[in-house]
Amino acid sequence: MTQAELFSLLEEKYLQYNQSSFIETDPIAVPHQFTLKQDIEIAGFLSATIAWGNRKSIVANARRLLQMMGTSPYEFLVNAEPEDFKPFLRFVHRTFNGDDCLFFLTSLQHIYRTYESMEPLFGSLNDHGAAHAINSFREVFLTTMHLRRSEKHIASPLSGSSAKRINMFLRWMVRHDGRGVDFGIWPSLDPAKLVCPLDVHVGRISRELGLLHRTHSDWKAALELTDMLKSFDQEDPVKYDFALFGLGMFEK
């Protein structure tokens, strides 16, 4: 496939899959229930955090987790007392258990009692890149008391992780193309600095198309793929996540 043919394919599939009709079965459906910026952030972050495994189960469990916080997760978190968190000790999604859930909620509570939004915690993205921004956020997030086991649910590019779920969350928050999928509620951050979420579907298709040569799906692979995608769109390379995921997930 020539470069021109590959560009045409990616553009076609980006337009095909980047539309609201595909939201219903995707974890991004959960934050789309909300309109307040902080509610969208919280719902998006928690949904992305548990986004591995069966997609139907991911969406169902994310909805259940958000329903436990009532109509506004933001209002719940900023006003919650310690006893209000006890029911969440029973929440489980795969290896994300009640202890992990309690830590995530109390850490988010600390963040929203300190900051108006999560946006500034990723503020170094523009000048220092995604790895720096993610790890800066991670340092803040981990200041709340937690079990060591819970740290695995906040990926670190410094340890080599592709950080697929948090890159996906950043895509949701930063990208805005008016197509009704990504929210674009963090206008201070540059979509050109995002890193493509790298999961098994995106990795397989990217290698088949010659966009990715690294065999391990780690942070270096995510950067390699993103750099290749920049040759097609320098300002918004991560938009092709829709094309690659759609080809891998829906077209096999």
Q: Where are the domains of the chain?
A: 3-249
Q: Tens digit of pLDDT for each residue in 121-148?
A: 999 999 999 999 999 999 999 999 999 9
Indicate whether 250 pLDDT > 90.
no
Q: Dihedral of CA 121/232/198/74: which sign? A: positive
Q: Is the pLDDT of residue 249 over 90?
A: no
d(CA 233, CA 212): 16
Residues 106-118 have pLDDT tens digits of 999 999 999 999 9
What would the two tokens of residue 146 be?
């937690």
pTM over 0.95: yes
Helix axes 164-174, 37-49, angle to 10 degrees: 160
Asked whether residue 252 carries a pLDDT value surpassing 90, the answer given is no
Q: Helices 200-208 and 241-249: crossing angle, nearest 10°?
A: 100
Q: What are the helix (H) ranges across 22-144?
A: 37-49, 55-67, 73-79, 98-114, 125-128, 130-141
Nearest CA to 2 out of 198, 180, 210 is that of 210
Nearest CA among 186, 194, 203, 207 for reference residue 234: 194
Average pLDDT, the chain: 97
Average pLDDT over residues 83-89: 98
Kindly state the percentage of the chain with pLDDT values over 90: 95
Q: In 3-state terms, what secondary structure has residue 175? A: coil
- Per cent of the chain over pLDDT 70 is 100
